[in-house]
Chain A
Amino acid sequence: DGGITQSPKYLFRKEGQNVTLSCEQNLNHDAMYWYRQDPGQGLRLIYYSQIVNDFQKGDIAEGYSVSREKKESFPLTVTSAQKNPTAFYLCASRLTNSNQPQHFGDGTRLSIL
């Protein structure tokens, strides 16, 4: 079945470490997105990519980095510069040539040890 796969489901990070969250989709979607969700807050856009080898900062990109070397993959690295990384991270994708909605992966919950 087609879909968006995020891994791992739960992730723990020590202070000062970088961690990478995986997002893979087999929907042949062009655009991919990374969001962060905190309790009581809406979805906040970290980075997005419309095509391979191109991506743009969202509203809260500081402390994060991404790459888009393949259409199917859009990994997010949470660097040690991100001072408050504990959150629920959601990856989404969509077709860009239509009014189709964004479809989400199951999310990764990141916690600091």
Chain B
Amino acid sequence: GQNIDQPTEMTATEGAIVQINCTYQTSGFNGLFWYQQHAGEAPTFLSYNVLDGLEEKGRFSSFLSRSKGYSYLLLKELQMKDSASYLCAVSPNAGNNRKLIWGLGTSLAVNP
């Protein structure tokens, strides 16, 4: 089967750094996406990794290791507005299909 695992909940302090992990087992791999979803709102795209290594975008970075089936999202200088659910999604195949396999999301609470 195809599976994505993420921690259900995490808590961190304003100004700190937090790492949200995602492990996946899929039939193939053609990229991994991270999305942010605030309560009651739609997911918004954060990052995309298809090659091993770190992608940095401002306060957010995402890392991928294809051999380990592992990714993490790193959030630096946490702000209260970063309290949200973070979704990991994998594209298991190439081409026009691009159905994504979604994790259940990690709910992050940032405390003052």
Contacts and interface: CB of A to CB of B under 8 A. Distances in A.
A5 to B, nearest CB: 12
A96 interface: yes
A48 B43 CA distance: 17
**Secondary structure of the B side of the interface?**
loop
Interface stretch (A11-19, A62-70, A98-106): A98-106
Contacts of A41: 104
Contacts, number: 46
Contacts of B50: 99
A43 B96 CA distance: 20
Nearest to A88: B40
Contact of B99 (A40, A58, A101): A58
Given A48-B99, A96-B96, A102-B100, A43 B42 contact: no
A96 B98 CA distance: 8
Nearest to A94: B98
A94 B91 CA distance: 13
B6 to A, nearest CB: 9
Interface of A: 30-31, 40-45, 48, 50, 58, 90, 94, 96-97, 99, 101-107
24 contacts: A31-B98, A40-B104, A42-B87, A43-B43, A43-B89, A45-B99, A48-B99, A50-B96, A58-B99, A90-B43, A94-B98, A96-B98, A99-B31, A99-B48, A99-B50, A101-B35, A101-B45, A102-B45, A102-B100, A103-B45, A104-B43, A104-B44, A106-B41, A107-B41
